[in-house]
Structure 1
Amino acid sequence: MDATTHLGMLSIVPATLAIILAFITRNTVFSLAVACFVGVMAMGEGLMGFPTLLKETLGTTSFSWILLLELFIGTVIAFFQRTGAIQNFSAWVERRALTRIKVQLIGWVMGMFVFFSDYFSPLFVGSTMRGLTDRYRVSREKLAYIADSTSAPVSVLVPITGWAVFIAGLLIGMGPIENAEQAMSVFLHAIPFNIYAWLSVAMVGLVIVGIVPLFGPMKKAEKRAQEENKVLRDGAEPLLGEELTDIEPYPAARTSLLLNFFMPVLVVIGVAIGTFATTGSAKTMEAFLAAAVFLGIVMRLQGIPFNDIMKTATSGMKGVMPAIIILALAYSLNQLSKNMGTADYIVELTQGWLTPALLPAMTFLIAAVIAFSTGTSWGTFAIMMPLSVPVAFNFTGDAITPLIYATVAAVAGGGVFGDHCSPLSDTSVLASTGAASDHIDHIKTQIPFALAVAVIALVAYLAVGFWWIEVA
């Protein structure tokens, strides 16, 4: 199918069906599988269309990358648990006279600290803080919200991440932007206008300290955790295999908090930032491979048998399989949406509404709808930047003005909104995995807060658009 065509209303059926079924059945795997099957049948590809879609989507470099990344992360987390590193970290933190609020604030700060990877951040925060938050009766849904809202929203605000490089790369050749340096300058100037991302991160802190009161399903989840000591609702299905959650520390192993916890984290950060500085791309998967190898060597030197180390690594890989299965089907649905022209159809419906005053707000809204429907922020960037930014330059006469910055930021923020709270999103899946939360429970409790922030951002972009009309 040509990139400019679509199947009309039919093109939004698979993604819509997946989202509706996910909330009704609470089973994401079933919902995604049914949506993919219905989609390939709607395209007339027959019964063999579904396995063909899986082969074409999963046999790619991009999916191989996320698969390996997940396996290595699972291995590192398993090593953390087998050496007692997470328990030791929890004990070390708890000696600092913590309260329930302070524990949550530590998770919030940790999420912002691990800014370089939206994949590592939710898994690291969730798996590291889970023991502490359980002890202080913080619901798993709340922990997943903290981990999710400090991953992609933070990564898109920092100019030394893969997000910044990707967005800047898309801007080259638009209007007067001729090279990477000019493109990065536009990205930097757009950061203050990324209202959704800023507010998402701030909202977490405000909710934790109680300035913004809990409401909706999150309030119910927190009441259950505090009054009934149930961090998960009855019947919940945590998105983390028992192979990973049930790992006990190796008996009599003389482990070190420095060597078994802080050093592997520094290895991940060092490799990721080092490769970004030298190659322009953070090698996150390679960073976790290095951390897993480092931890394996340290564990052997500490007296843990080689066979036990390998068994632990295998358990870690098995433990992340629920997340990998969901990601595989989500990738397949995303590819199906591309084949059916879902994004093109959504954009076509709204093209006639764009005026200079409405451009930032409508750009944010369209990007949010596309990202929520497809579960991908980067895919949304790739679609919306070439569509909205040239329109903005047309309105400004190829001058780089606040309207340009606001439009770029609106694409970034809208993409993050969808990626942030869609049940099809990889980072939302990883947040549920790290927190060992029921995935749909995480989505249901997070969406009201994400929507509240999105509404504020939409109003702010309307104000920016009309302000630009006044001063232009």
Structure 2
Amino acid sequence: MELGILSLLPATIAILLAFITRNTVFSLAVACFIGVLVAGQGLLGFPNLLKEALGTTSFSWIFLLELFIGVLIAFFQRTGAIQRFSAIMDRKNFNRVKTQLVSWFLGMFVFFSDYFSPLFVGSTMRNLSDKAKISREKLAYIADSTSAPVSVLMPITGWAVFISGLLIGMGTIASPDEAIKVFVKAIPFNFYALLSVLFVGLIALKIIPDFGPMKKAEERAMKEGKVLRDGAEPLMGEELTEIAPYEGIKTNIFLNLFLPVIIVISIAIGTFFVLDSAKTMEAFLTASVVLGIIMRLQGIPFNEIMKTATSGMKGVLPAIIILAFAYSLNKLTEDIGTAEYIVSITENFLTPSLLPMITFVLAAIIAFATGSSWGTFAIVMPLAVPLAFSFTGDEVTTLVLATIAAVCGGGVFGDHCSPLSDTTVLASSGAASDHMDHVKTQIPYSLAVAVIASMAYLFIGLVFV
């Protein structure tokens, strides 16, 4: 179905209402409802949309993944692992700068999953961050900026496999091995992702001072001791944030924290090399089961373990509800041709010298409007990369590499800062930050990086093409 300019209406409504009302669930629900009416599907279109969008393997996967991550984090807290980790780090007398740097490094370390990274960083560092009077918005920003931007730079992640798969058959790229080699060569040109990660370090070190809404949030935290603004609604249930260590348990920091993390990393990376697919959800399931067994051996009653697991699942429900409506809106925008319309109005501007920059801007707009980076890759990569090859005579040149990187960077932009994006939601959840406060404080930073990246692509096009 093609609705022309009307195809922009649902995403526009969702984004505008989210900023106006600060209620993401309401905004997404209204956008979906109006969208199905505009598409001529009537009142029954809304429940039908939910059934079609949520009754899929992809949503089931992220739903289960979220539940198992919630269980694992709840186990971390019930065993006292996170509290023990915070106590160990606290003895090092970390100030605001060091706490932010540790969060930054921790996010880059958990590079294998853009879903686990923001939840793990936020949950693990929240106590230390609160004590250092760092706003929850800043913690969410750090967690978000070290998730998707890091994952897209690593050649051993699901991101690399997906992007490489899209490249096969374009130009001279005829096999998966050739595709992954081209992906690696394009990494240095992924300016947005590289600069996003670097920007966090520069902000943490105060080389770049805080500005915009983030500056106000940080001043509130430092001067008033309020890590959340008055009236904020943290995107994590109290069932998860208020879990206390079980009385009498002797916390073992290795068994209760590091071993489960090692299990997750080992299974995720191991299955990537052996099966060519990182079994992330299975990794968290295994880690949760192993930690549950360890908890029972440490003397925690079985019923208490199950109660903790249930609390963990309840704690991630606010994020899951938003993800459910975001998936529904993504399905709707796909059905009514939102991305195709955006592409159609920019095709005439795709000249060789402007190709990398326009590709980046186009991918960024689509990703921000839909909240889907992988969906953006699937749409823009088959359009822009073959065009780049046609300009270079099917040779892998700087133009081709920059265009591939521009698609990747533009897609990550939306994944990084759109209020509709799953990783943006997860960063708010992990840091227990108000979701729209996270979005509002992060967008100026993301836009600053995006402007620099677009100028870099313009330079590449004008000088090397």
Q: How does 1:38-437 map to 2 (within 5 A)?
A: 38-437=34-433
Deviation at 1:97, TM superposition (A): 3.1
Matches of 2:284 and 2:37, distance apart in 1: 39
Which position in structure 1 is the counterpart of 2:434?
438
Matches of 1:214 and 1:96, distance apart in 2: 25
Which residue type is aligned with residue 278 of structure 2?
A
Deviation at 1:95, TM superposition (A): 1.9
Deviation sequence 1:204-260 (CA, Å, 0-9, x none): 000011111110000000000000000000000000001111111100112211100
Deviation sequence 1:158-184 (CA, Å, 0-9, x none): 100000010000000011111111111
Q: How does 1:443-454 map to 2 (within 5 A)?
A: 443-454=439-450
Root-mean-square deviation (Å): 0.6
Equivalenced residue count is 465
Deviation sequence 1:114-156 (CA, Å, 0-9, x none): 0100000000000000000000100000000000000000000
Matches of 1:444 and 1:349, distance apart in 2: 28
Q: Does structure 1 residue 8 correspond to structure 2 residue 9? A: no
Matches of 1:375 and 1:30, distance apart in 2: 16
Worse-superposed segment, 96-105 or 25-34: 96-105
Matches of 2:171 and 2:100, distance apart in 1: 44
Matches of 2:343 and 2:35, distance apart in 1: 20
Q: SS of the residue aligned with 1:459? A: helix
Matches of 1:342 and 1:252, distance apart in 2: 56
Uncovered stretches (5+) of structure 1, i.e. residues with no partner: none
Deviation sequence 1:258-311 (CA, Å, 0-9, x none): 100111110111110111110111111001001100110000000000000000
Matches of 1:47 and 1:53, distance apart in 2: 11
Q: SS of the residue aligned with 1:239? A: coil
Deviation at 1:446, TM superposition (A): 0.2
Which residue type is aligned with residue 72 of structure 1?
F
Uncovered stretches (5+) of structure 2, i.e. residues with no partner: none
Deviation at 1:93, TM superposition (A): 1.3
Matches of 1:266 and 1:232, distance apart in 2: 32
Deviation sequence 1:61-114 (CA, Å, 0-9, x none): 000000000000000000011111000000111222322111110000000000
- Please say if residues 122 and 140 of structure 2, whose CA atoms lie closer than 8 Å, have aligned partners that are also in contact: yes
Matches of 1:468 and 1:254, distance apart in 2: 62
* Greater than 4 Å deviation, 4+ residue runs: none
TM superposition score normalised by structure 1: 0.98
Deviation at 1:56, TM superposition (A): 0.6
Matches of 2:251 and 2:222, distance apart in 1: 33
- Please say if residues 84 and 251 of structure 2, whose CA atoms lie closer than 8 Å, have aligned partners that are also in contact: no
Matches of 1:197 and 1:350, distance apart in 2: 23
Matches of 1:51 and 1:425, distance apart in 2: 22
Deviation sequence 1:297-327 (CA, Å, 0-9, x none): 0000000000000000000000000000000
- Please say if residues 367 and 415 of structure 2, whose CA atoms lie closer than 8 Å, have aligned partners that are also in contact: yes
Percent sequence identity over aligned pairs: 71
Deviation at 1:49, TM superposition (A): 0.4
Deviation sequence 1:18-42 (CA, Å, 0-9, x none): 0000000000000000000000000
Deviation sequence 1:355-406 (CA, Å, 0-9, x none): 1000000000000000000000000000011000000011111111010000
TM superposition score normalised by structure 2: 1.00
